[in-house]
Chain A
């Protein structure tokens, strides 16, 4: 069983430090949730781990099974088993979902190996049906003209097809109505299992009603200030983030 270890990570964008010494280990089979108000560095953390070029790791490390991934490009990290479900997925005009996923899967095969097309389409349709994505979407350009809900479902479709080891879901629930949220959450739940480690980044408790996390972490000012199990999320919901702020302030002053 693999694990991804984030060790005292510091991430900056330009001169500004956003993530200030964050440590966390996620094993395959575990679902972690990170909650916290805007601006605390949740998205930055996910993007930095995925290898976004705008973010600089100034110190600390990220390791998969003891091997650092920080020297790897974004595509290498993806092929090593990392997946990022974007908060704002990009449009790719003229590139169909079918072709995009096929290219992504083909990229993971050894030189000379060819993806079996009929198996590919069978899998693709299966997963689209489960996510209630119209099969016609295979020939639509990725995210081009998609509603917010459609984009998020497309992210889950990619997650399902690419079968990573570790999935970082950046505000997957934002902008979704109740029905869309349920479909997306059920989609993620279906993928839950011993081979997938998940980090859910979210503001709101409601996603966690569908995807019950094993661990909940609260992020504040660039680092994790409190960890617990699913009941922590409920406590946050009840008391609000001010409660954490106060606790943190108290802890700091000791």
Chain B
């Protein structure tokens, strides 16, 4: 087995020169928030590449129960047996070299209870990302992950007193298997797709949350993710179970520095809303432009339960993510609100899946995408309402905004509604920010970039309003930065 390695200081590449500003004034993503890395000593390093030995190593380090090790091994076999889904997805996936990725890396630290106990170098990273302030101001608890292992966790007394369990995946499976094992891998079976299989083999970190019956968690719970090593993949696993009548909002937002070799982020998020429960899961993703962000997210909504995904994708080289809800119980509700922004060199391949499996269930999908420069955004939606159900409703709206004429958008809605008593509605539009609109705004004193920014923010405004305040502010800032084309 590889001995613990010390990393050399990783050199951050010089900020990209603006590529062809004459053709595309909106080039580049603002890297300045995530464009740094530190010389950090890693205590556990599984090496590059993936094999049964990697699995054994990860499981040993985490001191996992045998059932979990077996789960991982089976998943590895499934991962290896499945082909890349390039028959429908982009062939850019073929550029991922799985043998060069590091699948596990950690500080060897147990999660910390207070900020003061966290090692300085990790603190520096999170201070720049603003974690302490957010924790003070807004949140009931923060689980901060640094390269696979939760380096800091703090569940505020209020939440703990209510009986809420909030810990990383390793600790949760070790300390509360009775709670989590029941649902773990059930909402998203290992074999669902190649990347859920990969995650099931090497998962580490992520949040496991249980909310007891009737408990309404007042403050949103939050986690941060960050990749800080070249050729390193993030495979966090999140499982949220809201018991009957309980309510929870969970937020995840992430940044990563830019590297010249591939970075893979392949997460799995499973949500279970029992009868009458409500889960709202909010994501703002701003990975650097070399990251492959391939995520499987699905929720299971029981009778009269509600699951709402609010998903915003601004970064990454390629994002493939289709948050879904299986509407298992009568009158369950599922919703996906999605914003995607694809700039030069980016492909946002996102959408939603709504599977109706009970009477009187409703689903709502609103997807807005913005393509800038040579960015490409794709909407893929699946809505399935089978013949034997009654009184189901779906509303789908997907709007695309093209900023330059060589940006691209595709829509693949697959809506299958069978049976007599359902209502399904689908609207789609493609629009362009007109020169007249830009001139109108400039004639009021706004620069071209400010005008474009306002137009784009206006386009997504009714979705952004549904984010918690601090996120809608960050989101607007991210969009502004994209539009300015500022670089590092």
Q: Which residues of A contact B (CB under 8 A)?
A: 50-54, 73-75, 78-79, 83-84, 86, 89-95, 99-101, 103-104, 107-108, 141, 158, 162
A to B CB contacts below 8 Å, 15 in the list: A52-B439, A74-B439, A75-B444, A75-B451, A86-B443, A93-B459, A95-B455, A100-B441, A100-B444, A103-B446, A107-B445, A108-B445, A158-B444, A162-B444, A162-B445
Q: Report B441-456 CB contacts with A as 1/0, cut-off 8 Å.
A: 1111111101100110
Given contact pairs A53-B435, A103-B450, A92 touches B458 in the complex (Cβ within 8 A): yes
B395 CB to nearest chain A CB (Å) = 19
For the complex formed, measure the closest distance between the CB of B446 and the CB atoms of chain A, giving whole angstroms.
5
User: From residue B447, how far is it (CB to closest CB) to chain A in Å?
Assistant: 5
Alpha-carbon gap, A100 to B454, bound state (A): 8
**Are B458 and A74 in contact, with the CB atoms below 8 A?**
no
- A94→B458 contact, CB < 8 A: yes
A138 to chain B, nearest CB (A): 14
Chain B, Cβ-Cβ closest to A52: B439
Residues of B within 8 A of A89 (CB): 440
Contacts of B437 in A (CB 8 A): 90-92
Taking CB atoms, residues of chain A closer than 8 Å to B178 are none
A158 to B441, CA, bound (A): 11
Judge if B312 is at the interface, Cβ distance under 8 Å: no
> By the criterion CB–CB under 8 Å, are B445 and A94 in contact?
no
Q: How far is the CB of B113 from chain A (nearest CB, A)?
A: 39
Residue of B nearest to A104 (CB): B444
| Residues on the B chain within 8 Å of A94, using CB | 457-462
Besides A51-B442, A74-B439, A107-B445, 8 new A-B residue pairs in contact (Cβ under 8 A), listed by A number: A86-B440, A89-B440, A92-B437, A92-B441, A93-B459, A94-B462, A104-B445, A108-B445
Residue of A nearest to B434 (CB): A90
Across the interface, name the chain A residue whose C-beta is closest to B461.
Answer: A94
CB pair B442 A75 closer than 8 Å: yes
B442–A74 contact, CB under 8 A? yes
User: In the complex the two chains form, is A50's CB within 8 Å of B454's CB?
Assistant: no
Known A94-B461, A95-B458: A75·B440 in contact at CB below 8 Å: no
Cβ-based interface call for B23 (8 A)? no
For B436, B440, B442, which residue has the most chain A Cβ atoms within 10 angstroms? B440
- Residues of B within 8 Å of A103, CB to CB, are 446, 450, 454
Q: Which residue of B lies closest to A90 (CB)?
A: B440
Q: Do B436 and A90 touch across chains, with their CB atoms under 8 A apart? A: yes
Q: Evaluate contact between B440 and A92: CB separation under 8 angstroms.
A: yes
Report yes or no: B445 in contact with A95, Cβ–Cβ below 8 A: no
Separation of A78 and B450 alpha carbons in the complex (Å): 14
CB atoms of A51 and B455 under 8 A apart: no
Q: Which residue of A lies closest to B447 (CB)?
A: A75
Residues of B within 8 A of A95 (CB): 454-455, 457-458, 461
CB distance from B93 to the nearest CB of A (A): 34
In Å, the complex CA distance between A25 and B124 comes to: 62
Interface of B is mostly: helix
Tell me the B residues contacting A by CB distance below 8 Å.
Answer: 434-437, 439-448, 450-451, 454-455, 457-462
- A95-B446 Cα distance, complex, nearest whole Å: 14
Q: Which residues of chain B come closer than 8 Å to A104, judged between CB atoms?
A: 444-446
Give the shortest distance, in Å, between B18 (CB) and chain A (any CB): 19
Identify which of B434, B443, B451, B460 gathers the most chain A CB atoms within 10 Å of its CB.
Answer: B443
| Nearest neighbor of A73 in chain B, beta-carbon distance | B442
State in angstroms the CA–CA spacing of A104 and B441 once bound together. 8
Determine the distance from Cα of A104 to Cα of B455 in the docked complex, in whole angstroms: 13
A51 touches B459 (CB 8 A): no
Contacts of B447 in A (CB 8 A): 73, 75, 107
| Residues on the A chain within 8 Å of B435, using CB | 53-54
Residues of B within 8 A of A100 (CB): 441, 444, 454
Chain A residues near B441: list those with CB within 8 A: 90, 92, 100
With contacts A90-B434, A92-B440 taken as known, whether A141 is within 8 angstroms of B458 at the C-beta atoms is: yes
Distance to closest chain A CB from B371 (angstroms): 17
Give A89 to B325 CA distance when docked, in angstroms.
43
Q: Which of A78, A91, A99 contacts B443 (CB 8 A)?
A: A78
User: In the assembly, what is the distance between CA of A147 and CA of B149, in Å?
Assistant: 59
* 3 A-B pairs with least C-beta separation: A94-B458, A94-B461, A95-B458
CB closest residue in chain A, given B440: A90
Set of chain B residues within 8 Å of A158, measured between Cβ atoms: 444
> Which A residues lie within 8 Å of B459 (CB)?
93-94
**Are A75 and B446 in contact, CB atoms less than 8 angstroms apart?**
yes
> Once bound together, how far apart are the Cα atoms of A141 and B455, in whole Å?
11
Whether A75 lies near B462 (C-beta < 8 A) is no
Question: A54, A79, A86, A93: which contacts B445 (Cβ < 8 A)?
Answer: A79
Q: In the docked arrangement, what's the CA distance between A52 and B443, Å?
A: 9
Q: How far is the CA of A53 from the CA of B440 in the complex (A)?
A: 11
Whole-angstrom distance from the CB of A82 to the nearest CB of chain B? 8
Tell me how far the C-beta of B366 lies from the nearest C-beta in chain A, rounded to whole angstroms: 13
Chain A residues within 8 Å of B444, by CB: 75, 78, 100-101, 104, 107, 158, 162
Contact of B455 among A53, A79, A92 (CB under 8 A): A92
* Contacting pair A84 B443 (CB below 8 A): yes
A95 to B460, CA, bound (A): 10
Contact B443 A51, beta carbon cutoff 8 Å: yes
Contact (Cβ within 8 A) A75 B448: yes
Distance (whole angstroms) from the CB of A126 to the closest CB of chain B:
19
Chain B residue at minimum C-beta to C-beta distance from A75: B442
A53–B439 touching, CB < 8 Å: yes
Complex interface: chain A residues within 8 A of B448 (CB): 73, 75
Residues on B with C-beta less than 8 A from A84 are 443
Q: Are B454 and A107 in contact (CB under 8 A)?
A: no
Complex CA distance for A67 and B464, rounded to whole angstroms: 43
Residues of B within 8 A of A73 (CB): 442, 447-448
Neighbouring B residues of A78 by C-beta, 8 Å: 442-445
CA distance A52 to B439 in the complex (A): 7
